[in-house]
Chains A and B, each alone.
Chain A
Amino acid sequence: MTEAHDNPLEPYVRAALALQGYTFGDGEIAEIVMQFSRLEAIAQAVFDWPLPFASEPAPVFRP
C-alpha cells in the first residue's frame, strides 16, 4: 500500500479534514487518504464524460 505521505492527495485530505474540524492521527489519516483516493479515481469518469455546457444537475430528482 502506498504510504499516505507519498500520495499527492494527502495535502488536500489533511487540509479538508482540518476545515471540517476533524483531528486524527497519522494512521487514521492514511486510511482516509486511501479511501479518498478510491473516490477520486472513480470521480475521473464523471469529469471525463462529455456534457453539453448548459446541462442541468438533478439535485432534487423527480422522475
Chain B
Amino acid sequence: MTGSAADIVQQIAKGTRSAAAVLAECKALIEAKDPDLNCFTAKTFRRAEREAAVIDALYAEGKALPPLAGVPYAVKNLFDVEGMVTLAGAKINAGNAPAAADATIVARMRRAGAILVGALNMEELAYGFLTENHHYGTTRNPHDRTRGAGGSSGGSAAAVGAGMLPITLGSDTSGSIRVPASLCGVFGLKPTYGRLPRTGTYPFVNSFDHVGPFANSVLGLALAYDAMQGPDPADPACAQRAIEPAGVPLSLPRGIRVGILGGWFHQWADPAARRSVQLAAAALGATDWTELKSAEVARAAAYIITGAEGGALHRPRLLERYEDFGPASRSRLVAGGLIPATWVIQAQRVRRHAYREAMDLFEHFDLLIAAAAPAVAPNVGQETLLINGRSIPVKAGLGILTQPISCIGLPVCTVPVWPGEGDSPAERALPVGVQLIGAPWREGLCLAAARTLEQAGIAEVRLP
C-alpha cells in the first residue's frame, strides 16, 4: 500500500521519500493488483511522471509544497482528463474527441500537487449500483473477488480498498460514492449538493449529480475535499460559496447530538448493516432514534426524476445508436424518457417536502446515522437481496438507503465498519459502511465524526 495521503505529504516534505518513488511504488501495485480487479480503464503514467517531477523539483529548490504534494490518485472515467476520451463507462462515447482540458476538480487536484495515474471503471453512464459494465467488464471486490465492488463508482472504491491508491474521485447521483465505499470498505464523501463543481464531468441527472473523493483515511478525504472546494460559475448548480475548510485535524465538538435513523433505514438494513450502525452509534455516544418519515417517498421521487432526466439526456443517442448501449441501460433510459411531466413535478414537490422534514430533524440533531447499504457486497451476477425476509432486486436495492439522502442533497461521509455478522465466514469478513449525515454545508462535522470513529478503531480500511 502506498500509505495515507497525509503520510505521503509528510514524507515528501521531510525528504524521506520522493514523489517519483511514491509513484513508482504505486505503479507497481497497480500492475500487480489491477488485472484481478479491473479497476482501471486507462493509465496516465507519463502524465504522472511529469507531475511527480514538478513536485520533486519544488522540493529540491526548497520551495513550499502544495497540500497534496506527490499523492497519487485516479478518477472515475466520467471526469475529463486533457487528451483522453471521457468514456463514462459507455461504448457510445468511445469515438468522441479527447477532452480539451481537465475537469475543474481534476485541475484543482493538479494544482494541489496530486499525481493523476489513471481513469477508473464505472457502471455504464453511472446508471446503477453495480460495476458490471457490459463494455468494459466487471470490477471485483478487493475483499472477495467473487463479489461486486458496487457502483456506479466501483473502480474508484475498489482501487482504494485494494491498497493501490490513497485517494480516488467519483460521483454520486443516488449513492454511487456511498454504496461502493460501503461494499469495498473505504471512506467516501458525498458533499452537499452544489458544493463541488461538476464542470468537465459527464452528466447523468443534473438535479442530483454530486462529485466527491474516496480515501483510505479520513484526513486524506478531508485534504482532497479541501483541495477541490470553491465556486465555479461554469456549473449552474455549484453554490457560489467561499471555501470552508474541513478543519483538519478534524476534532468533533463536544456535545454534538447524534440521531440514529430508524423506520425505513432500520427496516432495510440486514443484521450486518444494523450491527455496523450499532457500533458507530456506540462510539459516537448516540442513543436516540429518530425517523425521516418521507424517506420512502423521497426515494421514489429520486427514481422518477432520475428516469426522466436520464432519459431526456440520452434520447438523441438512443434514437440513433440504441444497440450500442448496454442491455442493462437502454430500455431503462428509454422508459425514463416516457415519464409524464406531472410525475416529475410531483416528485419535485415531494423532494422539497422531504428536505423540510430533514431540516426539522436537524433542529434536534447535529448528525444522523444510517447504514450505507442494506447488506454486505453481493456476488457478481446476483439478482436479488434478501433483507429481513423481504426480497428486492440487487440493481435497485443496493441504493435503498442512499437515495433518500441524495434526493435532498445532504452531505454524507461514509465510513467503513466491519460488523463481523453473516451466515458464512466469507460474509463475516466483509464491511458494511455507515452514513454520517449532516445538515447542508456541514461536511466538516461529518468528517470530524468519521475521524472520531477512525481514531476509536471502529472505522478502518483493512487491506485484503
Chain A residues 3-52 with CB under 8 Å of chain B are 12-13, 16-17, 20-22, 24, 28, 31-32, 34-36, 38-39, 42-47, 49, 51
Q: How far is the CA of A31 from the CA of B328 in the complex (A)?
A: 11
Q: How far is the CA of A55 from the CA of B304 in the complex (A)?
A: 18
Interface size on B, residues (CB 8 A): 42
Chain B residues 288-304 with CB under 8 Å of chain A are 294, 296-297, 300-301, 303-304
- A12, A36, A45, A57: the one contacting B296 at CB < 8 Å is A45
Please state if B334 and A32 are interface contacts (CB–CB under 8 Å). Answer: yes
Q: Which residues of A contact B301 (CB under 8 A)?
A: 46
Most buried by A among B207, B300, B352: B300
Q: How far is the CA of A61 from the CA of B354 in the complex (A)?
A: 12
Please state if B350 and A22 are interface contacts (CB–CB under 8 Å). Answer: no
Q: Which residues of A contact B347 (CB under 8 A)?
A: 43, 46
B332 within 8 A of A: yes
The total of Cβ contacts below 8 Å across the A-B interface reads 103
Q: How far is the CA of A16 from the CA of B440 in the complex (A)?
A: 38
Q: Which residues of B contact A42 (CB under 8 A)?
A: 300, 303-304
Q: Which residues of A contact B307 (CB under 8 A)?
A: 39
Q: How far is the CA of A61 from the CA of B305 in the complex (A)?
A: 12
Most buried by B among A20, A22, A51, A61: A61
Please state if B303 and A61 are interface contacts (CB–CB under 8 Å). Answer: no
- B192, B303, B315, B410: the one contacting A20 at CB < 8 Å is B315
Tell me whether A49 and B297 are in contact in the complex, defined as CB-CB below 8 angstroms, given that A39-B335, A58-B355 are known contacts.
yes
Tell me whether A39 and B355 are in contact in the complex, defined as CB-CB below 8 angstroms, given that A20-B337, A61-B409, A63-B440 are known contacts.
no
Q: How far is the CA of A55 from the CA of B355 in the complex (A)?
A: 12
Tell me whether A58 and B348 are in contact in the complex, defined as CB-CB below 8 angstroms, given that A32-B334, A46-B343 are known contacts.
yes
Q: How far is the CA of A32 from the CA of B409 in the complex (A)?
A: 30
Q: Digit string of B332-374 for contact with A (CB within 8 Å is 1, else 0)?
A: 1011111100010111111111010000000000000000000
Q: Which residues of A contact B440 (CB under 8 A)?
A: 63
Q: Which residues of A contact B332 (CB under 8 A)?
A: 35
B186 to chain A, nearest CB (A): 26
Closest B residue to A35 using CB positions: B335
- B297, B319, B334, B339: the one contacting A45 at CB < 8 Å is B297
- A39, A47, A56, A62: the one contacting B239 at CB < 8 Å is A62
Closest B residue to A59 using CB positions: B348
Please state if A39 and B303 are interface contacts (CB–CB under 8 Å). Answer: yes
Q: How far is the CA of A17 from the CA of B318 in the complex (A)?
A: 12
Q: Which residues of B contact A47 (CB under 8 A)?
A: 343, 346
Please state if A39 and B350 are interface contacts (CB–CB under 8 Å). Answer: no
Q: Which residues of B contact A22 (CB under 8 A)?
A: 318-319, 334
Please state if A31 and B331 are interface contacts (CB–CB under 8 Å). Answer: yes
Q: How far is the CA of A21 from the CA of B193 in the complex (A)?
A: 34
Q: How far is the CA of A9 from the CA of B409 in the complex (A)?
A: 32
Chain B residues 178-205 with CB under 8 Å of chain A are 192-194
Please state if A61 and B193 are interface contacts (CB–CB under 8 Å). Answer: yes
Measured CB to CB, the residues of A under 8 A from B are: 12-13, 16-17, 20-22, 24, 28, 31-32, 34-36, 38-39, 42-47, 49, 51, 55-63
11 residue pairs bridging A and B, Cβ less than 8 Å apart: A17-B338, A35-B335, A43-B304, A46-B301, A51-B346, A51-B350, A55-B352, A57-B351, A57-B352, A58-B348, A63-B192
Measured CB to CB, the residues of B under 8 A from A are: 192-194, 207, 237, 239, 294, 296-297, 300-301, 303-304, 307, 315, 318-319, 322, 331-332, 334-339, 343, 345-353, 355, 408-410, 440-441
Additional pairs, 11, CB under 8 Å, beyond known A35-B336, A56-B349, A63-B440: A32-B335, A36-B335, A42-B303, A43-B303, A43-B339, A46-B300, A51-B346, A57-B349, A58-B355, A59-B207, A62-B194
